[in-house]
A and B are shown apart, each in its own frame.
Chain A
């Protein structure tokens, strides 16, 4: 895979000093999309004319010495569950195939203010429910490293777009690992911020106590710049945190001295793929030489994270997706005999099978007689996990683990067994349950030349510490 810009900071410097124009950069992305996307299927929609016009206008402003935003002239791809006013937000579902966003998501407002150029919308698993992007109602997305394999999911389009140089940056969303897992599978950087760090206003809701929007980029610098631009309190999102945003761009310039790194025993058990284990060991040895202190920690409730996650996420999804009833927006079935038929037929014809499966599971575990045993128990497991992570962070600065238990799998190999697919989130779901920030960055490749990702996790709102640590790991891996 070519990497025209080893560092996103260099790309910004080139744009700033005029050695590269934004128009040139956008044209490079469009050329890459033209050459590779017919095969890869990362984009659902691209806006070449608007992006080029916006780039030219930024170039003129720059030449005239006018003030520009921190991401001026940088093209960005958006996952198609984030609203951009006047453009379609499909969630890769027949349900929203012709839905036009009536307003900008807060993150989109931030991107516009930062001068970023919105390049297009990327494919996802329908309503972000999946780990392979195979559940899109519209198209398959293929892994740029091996087109017979999945890019991961649900932000598979956003990961593939960055990996194949079709966009230097993209936004994804994560409910249980939907940014980090595709980032690992596609060999890019993906970060889930702390719950509350980034506004979800204008993100189509899936699991409201878990969802976060986050950056995807070729390197830690790109992810840090993008997260910096989209973070901050928003009165339109009641879960948005009223806390100052740390300077992430400064944070990546300084590596932590003698960091304490926790290795969760449960994430390094004997079942781990030996090639992934080897990549982790190489990095851990380099970290020890750097002066890091490695410490084994235990997070026993991790064994219950996947069950708790699939109970909470599906319960919340069944409730969130009740709004899609064919009445006010979205797909409506033809000629229903009465209003009940309109609800049932619109939902049955508009949703794909994986979405319906999750709504069914959520409805079941919220129903009378099962609520305490399932939903409430899962919320208690969540408390237990939070306590165990807090105890770990009292001893170490960050936690380190593989991002995924295996590399990108062949297309079609897990679609018949939902439980098998769900287990691919095993190392990522806890960060969403606990609400902490986590990042995945490339950590080498296996013998088949497929990318392997390493995951770092920090305590709530410690994004600065996390990107600093990630930048250190990136430098050691390079």
Chain B
């Protein structure tokens, strides 16, 4: 399994990551080598075997829907890189239409 640099660049975009050209080249080689190894699982014929997502229970355990105290906005905002009153501040999302 080999990966080309453009494929790696495409997946980097999907993962919200940016790499230098040199890093993309290294990643193409390293990911290609890992994929070559993991490719081995396609050898197994597991047609009728069901996939396992969770090992010991077949259903989701839900707690009772009771109101209880939660983190609180002050603590929830305590690690924010940027904030204003009770909001997280991020760069403007809405584009202003040019006149």
Contacts and interface: CB of A to CB of B under 8 A. Distances in A.
Interface of A: 98-100, 102-103, 194-196, 209, 235, 238-242, 301, 303-304, 306-308, 310-311, 318, 322, 325-332, 336-339, 341-345, 347-348, 351, 353, 356-357, 359-361, 363-365, 367, 373-374, 376-384, 386, 417-419, 422, 434-435, 460
Nearest to B23: A353
Contact of B46 (A98, A384, A417, A460): A384
Interface core residue of A242, A325, A380 (most chain B CB under 10 Å) = A380
Nearest to B55: A435
Contact of A360 (B12, B75, B76, B80): B12
A363 B90 contact: no
A306 B54 CA distance: 18
A331 B51 CA distance: 36
Nearest to B34: A419
Contacts of B53: 209, 379
B49 A238 contact: no
Contact of B16 (A209, A343, A378): A343
A380 B27 contact: no
Given A102-B76, A329-B80, A360-B31, A434 B55 contact: yes
A417 B31 CA distance: 10
Interface in B1-60: 8, 11-12, 14-19, 23, 27, 30-31, 33-35, 37-44, 46, 49-57, 60
B79 interface: yes
Interface residues of B, number: 51
Interface of B: 8, 11-12, 14-19, 23, 27, 30-31, 33-35, 37-44, 46, 49-57, 60-63, 71, 75-76, 78-82, 88, 90-93
Nearest to A194: B56
A311 to B, nearest CB: 6
B52 A382 contact: yes
Most buried by B among A330, A383, A384: A383
A339 B88 CA distance: 13
B72 to A, nearest CB: 9
B51 A338 contact: no
Pairs of residues from A and B, 8 with the lowest C-beta to C-beta distance, nearest first: A435-B55, A379-B51, A332-B81, A329-B79, A307-B38, A380-B46, A363-B15, A382-B52
A338 B91 contact: yes
A307 B35 CA distance: 9
Contacts of B55: 195-196, 209, 382, 386, 434-435, 460
Given A327-B88, A383-B52, A377 B71 contact: no
B41 A381 contact: yes
Most chain B CB inside 10 Å of its own CB: which residue of A98, A364, A422: A364
Contact of B18 (A240, A345, A386): A345
Given A383-B49, A460-B55, 4 more contacts: A239-B54, A356-B17, A377-B44, A418-B34
A360 B15 contact: yes
Contacts of B75: 102-103
B42 A377 contact: yes
A357 B27 CA distance: 7
